[in-house]
Amino acid sequence: MRVPPQDSSRLTVELINTGSELMLGRVLNTHQQWLCRRLADLGYAVTRQVAVPDTGHDIQQAVRESLARADLIITTGGLGPTSDDVTRELIAQLLNKPLREDAAILAQIREFFSARNRPMPERNRVQALVPEGAQVIANPHGTAPGLAIEIRPNPFRSAGAASWLILLPGPPRELRPLFNDAVVPLLHRVRPPEGEFVCRTLRATGVGESRLQETICRHLESLVGEGLDLGYCARIGQVDVRLAARGPAAARVVERAETIVRRLLAPHIFGTEDEQLEAVVVRMLTERKFGLALAESCTGGSLADRITNVPGASAVFPAGVVTYSNAAKQSLLGVRAETLARDGAVSEAVAREMAHNARERVHADCALSVTGIAGPGGGTPAKPVGTVFVGLASAGGVVVERHFNPYDRETFKQATTQQALELLRSHLIQTG
Amino acid sequence: MRVPPQDSSRLTVELINTGSELMLGRVLNTHQQWLCRRLADLGYAVTRQVAVPDTGHDIQQAVRESLARADLIITTGGLGPTSDDVTRELIAQLLNKPLREDAAILAQIREFFSARNRPMPERNRVQALVPEGAQVIANPHGTAPGLAIEIRPNPFRSAGAASWLILLPGPPRELRPLFNDAVVPLLHRVRPPEGEFVCRTLRATGVGESRLQETICRHLESLVGEGLDLGYCARIGQVDVRLAARGPAAARVVERAETIVRRLLAPHIFGTEDEQLEAVVVRMLTERKFGLALAESCTGGSLADRITNVPGASAVFPAGVVTYSNAAKQSLLGVRAETLARDGAVSEAVAREMAHNARERVHADCALSVTGIAGPGGGTPAKPVGTVFVGLASAGGVVVERHFNPYDRETFKQATTQQALELLRSHLIQTG
């Protein structure tokens, strides 16, 4: 039984997620994973996560218990304008701090609504209330600001050691930038991570998790002995390798590990940290001043969607077509009726014509095409559900790959678009 | 502030998820949602969920705290054969019960390996250990059995009221059948759920969370008095209204609430439970045997992606184009150069031509078009980032709406595609 001793010098962080929809199992708690991962990558550790319904007893009890244990407590949710948004009020009550209306927040909330040509509902006024002494974390993405409260002395903790309590709004697109832009600097100010913590994530594609692990782990053994923490995270069409270390030798250990992994896994490594394959591809196209056309069937626009998620994509992506029907493959892409009749829509020949013709019609430097069977229907013994052809047309001609992705529709799309982007990335590397 | 009183007659359930990978944010906690949803639908309520690392202090402390509060505690994970699987041993230690090797379990584990033609690793023997007095829950899907322990009297609870502690293995494909086949019957034996539990989620679009609440809450007051539990969950371009009740009148209360909400919010309600707007639209198109064409600019294929996420979309979606550049708007969609020069690509006139021409070129019954400024660049004072025009062409002509979605790129796409799908849904309802 491995029970490591508690490290009393490290900052202890607890997370409290509020919301009856969590307790009723109506939504998935994605905040836990996101916040825990961000904190771990910054060198902090979450020692406990608690979810409670948005009712008085539970939120107050959970916050009181966490204040008795932790240096930093982050709550999520319950800052909205509706009647079940009670976190702000309950915490002010627990801490015995009066709520005061903050004129600057109120002005921001009014501004939020007037920018949308809508009157501010009276209910939203409650979001301008701030417990006395709390720091306001401005929220550019919504109406509920975050709040940061230093509890010093902390009446719930033995010896009265101070704690920080941070309240974040529930919607992920508000919570995430608030955490990155305001909570991270506050954390670094309050308690920098002990010693040095270095974490490097390398992202690989075109190689499975087991084979990747077999390839690298033997060569990293001695560094693991020197404190390297090696982790793997398998995603769809992608494996992330996490190299981390703590202490004075951390940077050297991680750097040596990275060199080894890159040597063993090149050309599979496409990026680092949170970099997406589509961002790498758009960057490479931009550097080469190349235009990309897309001709999608079974991926249904998700390849174009991924490319256009990257800011600046408009400079390299003039156009794509989504030709689901055979008629559209003919009229919009000029695929020949004979080819469709002879080989079927899901075939090497159709993928070839789609890529070739998309490149010509859009006057692009290169074009990707995808045709396959996403399922659940449409499979045959020769071409079962999951069969897909991915084509790439460039000045050098057309290449087509066949893949097999027998998954649900959304996973199929993710896996297939990953393969298409990787085909283009390899081509761009090879042609320089 | 709505703080309902605690109902002391109800069974209180707490959930403890163990695993350092949870605390490091390396995996998503899907057990919480699955178990909470199952328990809620069975009429029980989870009052707290806790996640802790798999180390001694944390698991023991969490179990002790839950034993002081709850009638039933379910732990997940930590029953495997490796060194970080410590739950069984730590709980036996906490309860001061010796661990004994169970010959029947050991035989099952040996059988599990021999059925797979593999020798049993010696480490797996630890999985046959059972705390004295515990009931064994056989696990046909793996090697770790579940355990159920009645703690009577419960030394951690005032008045010593009994509690049940149930230990389940972590892999979902083992945990779920064990819960259904063994925990549910045990729950019913220990404490049958009080009356019935009914939960209904209605999904609305085109109305903000505050205004939605202002519209309905006054009219639901008397039902709240009769036990209706009313919750809201704001998503991008969507608000979910949750209506729940317990006890003999539950079905009647929820049904009356649904009638009131539907009367007040129609036509904003588009679906129930987990139904997505794109699935509703595909269903309506399928019923009418209508074909839909898409002409996207700033949404970059995400509208096509949402439509094609719905199984069966191929019957109603022949084709779409993603025309990011002005040249492609002209060549693929026949938008006139004069219109682009006069009004700009982001304009009512271009949205109109895109929808009209897409409908004609694809020979579809209707077509949606989108042109706007997703940002971060490209805004002007007259058309700031977030400005978007959504067009719908049908047999009755073309309509264009102007919206303002000043968000990050992915949220912009989600909000805009929601507005486009809603424009089509309203049109299909109105035209019957």
Min Cα–Cα distance to chain B from A30, Å: 7
Highest mean pLDDT among B116-125, B168-177, B330-339, B370-379: B330-339
| Ordered alpha helix ranges (H), B101-140 | 103-115
Min Cα–Cα distance to chain A from B150, Å: 24
Helices H, strands E: what count in chain B?
A: 15, 17
Are residues B213 and A83, on separate chains, in Cβ contact within 8 Å? yes
Out of B6, B52, B240, name the one closest to residue A57 (CB): B6
Cα dist from B227 to A327, B101, B256, whole Å: 56, 49, 12
Are residues B300 and A309, on separate chains, in Cβ contact within 8 Å? yes
Cα dist from A423 to A104, A412, A426, B301, whole Å: 51, 16, 5, 20
The pLDDT of residue B195 is: 66
SS (H, E, C) chain A: CCCCCCCCCCCEEEEEEECHHHHCCCCCCHHHHHHHHHHHHCCCEEEEEEEECCCHHHHHHHHHHHHHHCCEEEEECCCCCCCCCCHHHHHHHHHCCCEEECHHHHHHHHHHHHHCCCCCCHHHHHHHEEECCCEEECCCCCCCCEEEEEECCCCCCHHHCCEEEEEECCCHHHHHHHHHHHHHHHHHHHCCCCCCEEEEEEEECCCCHHHHHHHHHHHHHHHHHCCCEEEEEEECCEEEEEEEEECCCHHHHHHHHHHHHHHHHCCCEEEECCCCHHHHHHHHHHHHCCCEEEEECCCCCHHHHHHHCCCCHHHCCCEEEEECCHHHHHHHHCCCHHHHHHHCCCCHHHHHHHHHHHHHHHCCCEEEEEEECCCCCCCCCCCCCCEEEEEEEECCEEEEEEEECCCCHHHHHHHHHHHHHHHHHHHHHHCC
Out of B48, B314, B377, name the one closest to residue A50 (CB): B48
Q: Mean per-residue pLDDT for B394-403?
A: 97
pLDDT band at A30; cut points 50, 70, 90:
very high
Residues of chain A neighbouring B89 (CB-CB closer than 8 A): 1
Out of A21, A81, A410, name the one closest to residue B210 (CB): A81
Mean pLDDT of chain B: 91
The 10 Å Cβ neighbour count of residue A215 is 15
**Calpha distance B416→B388 (Å, rounded):** 8
With beta carbons less than 8 A apart as the criterion, state whether B30 and B64 touch: no
CB proximity list for B216: less than 8 A, separation 6 or greater: B241, B260, B261, B264, B265
Are residues B322 and A321, on separate chains, in Cβ contact within 8 Å? yes
For tokens 């990275």, name the residue. A258
SS (H, E, C) B268-301: CEEEECCCCHHHHHHHHHHHHCCCEEEEECCCCC
pLDDT band at A353; cut points 50, 70, 90:
very high
The pLDDT of residue B194 is: 64
Are residues B84 and A28, on separate chains, in Cβ contact within 8 Å? no
**Calpha distance A151→A131 (Å, rounded):** 12
Mean pLDDT of chain A: 91
Looking at per-residue confidence, does A271 or B158 come out higher? Answer: A271
Out of A47, A294, A311, name the one closest to residue B409 (CB): A311
Min Cα–Cα distance to chain A from B148, Å: 22
| pLDDT value at A219 more than 70 | yes
DSSP B98: -
User: Which of B233, B243, B282 to probe by mutation at the A interface, max A CB count within 10 Å?
Assistant: B233
- Per cent of chain B over pLDDT 70 is 97
Min Cα–Cα distance to chain B from A427, Å: 24
Min Cα–Cα distance to chain B from A202, Å: 15
CB proximity list for B413: less than 8 A, separation 6 or greater: A305, A309, B298, B299, B300, B302, B374
What tokens does B346 get? Answer: 């982001």
The pLDDT of residue A5 is: 39
**Calpha distance A115→A128 (Å, rounded):** 18
**Calpha distance B9→B7 (Å, rounded):** 6
Give this complex's ipTM: 0.84
State pLDDT tens for residues B44-82.
Answer: 889 999 999 987 778 999 999 999 999 999 999 989 887
State pLDDT tens for residues A130-140.
Answer: 999 999 999 98
Residues of chain B neighbouring A117 (CB-CB closer than 8 A): 404
- Per cent of chain A over pLDDT 70 is 97
Are residues A322 and B325, on separate chains, in Cβ contact within 8 Å? no
With beta carbons less than 8 A apart as the criterion, state whether B159 and B143 touch: no
Residues of chain B neighbouring A326 (CB-CB closer than 8 A): none
With beta carbons less than 8 A apart as the criterion, state whether B137 and B165 touch: no
DSSP B5: P
Residues of chain A neighbouring B48 (CB-CB closer than 8 A): 50-52, 58, 62
Out of B1, B23, B296, name the one closest to residue A46 (CB): B23
Q: Mean per-residue pLDDT for A191-204?
A: 82
Residues of chain B neighbouring A28 (CB-CB closer than 8 A): 28, 30, 32-33
The pTM for the full model equals 0.83
CA-nearest residue of chain A to B78?
Answer: A1
Min Cα–Cα distance to chain A from B357, Å: 13
Cα Rg of chain B (Å, integer): 28
- Whole-angstrom distance between the N-terminal and C-terminal Cα of chain A? 53
Min Cα–Cα distance to chain B from A127, Å: 12
CB proximity list for A241: less than 8 A, separation 6 or greater: A201, A202, A203, A204, A212, A216, A230, A231, A232, A261, A265
DSSP string, B10-65: SPEEEEEEE-HHHHTTSS--HHHHHHHHHHHHTT-EEEEEEEE-SSHHHHHHHHHH
The pLDDT of residue B3 is: 39
Three-state DSSP at B244 gives strand
Out of A35, A81, A90, name the one closest to residue B209 (CB): A81
- Judged by phi (left if over 0) then psi (alpha if -120 to 50, else beta), residue B141 lies in alpha
Are residues B234 and A80, on separate chains, in Cβ contact within 8 Å? yes
**Calpha distance B262→B256 (Å, rounded):** 10
**Calpha distance A18→A12 (Å, rounded):** 20
Min Cα–Cα distance to chain B from A108, Å: 15
The pLDDT of residue A216 is: 93
Output phi, psi for B163, to 5 deg.
-135, 155
Three-state DSSP at B167 gives strand
Are residues B409 and A309, on separate chains, in Cβ contact within 8 Å? yes
Looking at per-residue confidence, does B302 or A113 come out higher? Answer: B302
Min Cα–Cα distance to chain B from A221, Å: 19
User: Which of B17, B21, B22, B23 to probe by mutation at the A interface, max A CB count within 10 Å?
Assistant: B23
Residues of chain B neighbouring A296 (CB-CB closer than 8 A): 301
| pLDDT value at A7 more than 90 | no
Are residues B58 and A47, on separate chains, in Cβ contact within 8 Å? yes
**Calpha distance B117→A354 (Å, rounded):** 49
The pLDDT of residue B6 is: 43
Are residues A40 and B25, on separate chains, in Cβ contact within 8 Å? yes
User: Chains A and B: how many Cβ contacts under 8 Å?
Assistant: 308
State pLDDT tens for residues B255-294.
Answer: 999 999 999 999 999 999 889 999 999 999 999 999 999 9
CA-nearest residue of chain A to B46?
Answer: A23
The pLDDT of residue B9 is: 58
Residues of chain A neighbouring B307 (CB-CB closer than 8 A): 300-301
Cα dist from A206 to A229, A269, A386, whole Å: 24, 9, 17
Out of A83, A303, A319, name the one closest to residue B217 (CB): A83
Highest mean pLDDT among A152-166, A309-323, B169-183, B239-253: A309-323
DSSP B178: H
**Calpha distance A93→A157 (Å, rounded):** 18
Are residues B3 and A55, on separate chains, in Cβ contact within 8 Å? yes
For tokens 């968000």, name the residue. B407
The pLDDT of residue A193 is: 66
Residues of chain A neighbouring B410 (CB-CB closer than 8 A): 309
Q: Mean per-residue pLDDT for B97-118?
A: 90
Looking at per-residue confidence, does A410 or B432 come out higher? Answer: A410
pLDDT band at B90; cut points 50, 70, 90:
very high
Out of A57, A296, A308, name the one closest to residue B300 (CB): A308
Q: Kindly report which listed range (A61-65, A214-218, B387-391) carries the lowest average pLDDT score.
A: A214-218
Instruction: Identify which of B298, B322, B319, B291 has the alpha carbon closest to the alpha carbon of residue B389.
Output: B298
Residues of chain A neighbouring B201 (CB-CB closer than 8 A): 26
The pLDDT of residue A91 is: 93
CB proximity list for A336: less than 8 A, separation 6 or greater: A330, A353
| pLDDT value at B199 more than 60 | yes
State pLDDT tens for residues A227-236.
Answer: 998 887 777 8
The pLDDT of residue B181 is: 93
Out of A47, A300, A309, name the one closest to residue B53 (CB): A47
Highest mean pLDDT among A15-29, A118-132, A344-358: A344-358
**Calpha distance A207→A186 (Å, rounded):** 39
Output phi, psi for A347, to 5 deg.
-160, 160
| pLDDT value at B363 more than 70 | yes
With beta carbons less than 8 A apart as the criterion, state whether A295 and B298 touch: no
Residue A92 identity (one-letter amino acid): A
Out of A29, A53, A322, name the one closest to residue B29 (CB): A29
The pLDDT of residue B173 is: 84
HSE (CB half, 13 Å, CA atoms) of A44? 25
Out of A36, A324, A376, name the one closest to residue B318 (CB): A324
Instruction: Identify which of A309, A242, A233 has the alpha carbon closest to the alpha carbon of residue A277.
Output: A309
Residues of chain A neighbouring B126 (CB-CB closer than 8 A): none
Looking at per-residue confidence, does A50 or A161 come out higher? Answer: A50
Hey, what's the torsion of the CAs at B201, B206, B210, B211, to 10 degrees?
A: -110
Highest mean pLDDT among B26-35, B40-49, B367-376: B367-376
**Calpha distance B405→B346 (Å, rounded):** 14
Residues of chain B neighbouring A362 (CB-CB closer than 8 A): 328, 331-332
